[in-house]
Amino acid sequence: MASHRKSRPTGSLVAGLRTPALATAALTSVALLSQSAHASPAADDRPSLEEVEKKVDDLYRQAESATEKYNAAKEKTAKQRKRVDTLLDDVAQRTQKLNEAREQLGSFAAAQYRTGATAPDTATFLLADTPQDYFDQTQVMDRLTGRQKAAVDDYVTQQSETMKQRREATESLRTLTESQNDLRTAKATVQQKLTDARELLAKLTAEEKARLAAIEKRKQEEAARKAAELARQQQAEQQRREEAATQQEQQSGTSSGTGTSGTSGTSGTSGTSGDTSTSDSSYATKADKALAFARAQIGKPYVWGATGPDSYDCSGLTQAAWKAAGVDLPRTTYDQVNAGTTVPLSQAQPGDLVFFYDDVTHVGLYIGNGMMIHAPKPGAYVREESIYYDGEGSIHSVVRPA
């Protein structure tokens, strides 16, 4: 007789647990693994510290680039505003002269009206009380006609000059408006880049900030190493030049003993050497003053668009430093890079300007041994630092401004 009991499913009991409990546990594990799998891409999408550092540096560079554009627009706006003011003053003065010329014409017209005629004729003679009155009237009219012609010529000239100056003033006002728009655009760009950099840094944890500081420290150590290497190269180059100069002097001294022509040659060489020495000495004196000023600013904050005395941006600092030495530099890095003689990095001297990046948006004041004084970036302070602070490839050129 067949059994009517249902057979148990194979494997229904495992260690005393029924299948539903095991299935629930398994499903929970799968769900957790699934959540972890979904969470991993988000974690992987998080940028590395190196990427964050590069992004922040790029934002600061973009802010500094916009700062130099702001400085250029600000300078252009100031010059244009001054020109507009001058033109408007000229227009006002010219308008006054035009009004005076118009009043003079009006007085002549009134005089003609009072005489009752514009030219002497028979009717005028008949209307005159006496013949003498007629002749007196004729002389007056002749005199008025000559003065009126001069007044008309003056009026036409004043009117033409006034219209010309008004057109110039209108064009200058249009240019001023464009400069002001450029100024506002550059200012907004600087502020946006700085905001983006601050927000990016604010997202870092304390641990990440510490690791970022360690990365920056390693960069500074490498920059210091490169500066020391440059210092050794410059010292070797200086020694080579001194030895060459000594050898040339010895040769000149030997040739001077051979005759009169040799003596003459020695004098010429000596004169040239003296001029070079004087030139070097003059530059060194000015450079010392510029460097002394720059050192006194160490510790003051970088503020974009600032030219001192409490804060500076990079070109504002170099401009102020060389101004203290009696040398007027342009305001922006774009112009400062053309305000002197370009020299090889191996021959850089204290006081020279070191420019950075292909777009020439940063500058520092060389102090020797591969080091400079500069206003680095927003959030930093004027300080001494290796010229390799952002890598060897960031150096654009070296310029001797005086």
396 is catalytic: no
* Residue 401 CB neighbours (<10 A): 25
362 assigned to active site? yes
Q: Do residues 370 and 378 lie in contact, with contact meaning Cβ atoms separated by under 8 Å?
A: no
**Active-site option among 4, 38, 314, 396:** 314
Is position 38 annotated as part of the catalytic site?
A: no
Q: Which residue has the tokens 């000023």?
A: 293
- Side chain identity at residue 369, one-letter code: N
The DSSP-derived string for 223-278 is HHHHHHHHHHHHHHHHHHHHHHHHHHHHHHHHHHTT-HHHHHHHHHHHHHHHHHHH
User: How far apart are alpha carbons 370 and 227 in whole angstroms?
Assistant: 4
Q: Which runs of E-coded beta strand occur in 15-62?
A: 17-18
**Which residues does 288 contact at the CB level (< 8 Å), separation at least 6?**
325, 350, 351
The helix/strand/coil state of 48 is coil
> DSSP code of 347?
G
Give the active site residues. Answer: 314, 362, 374
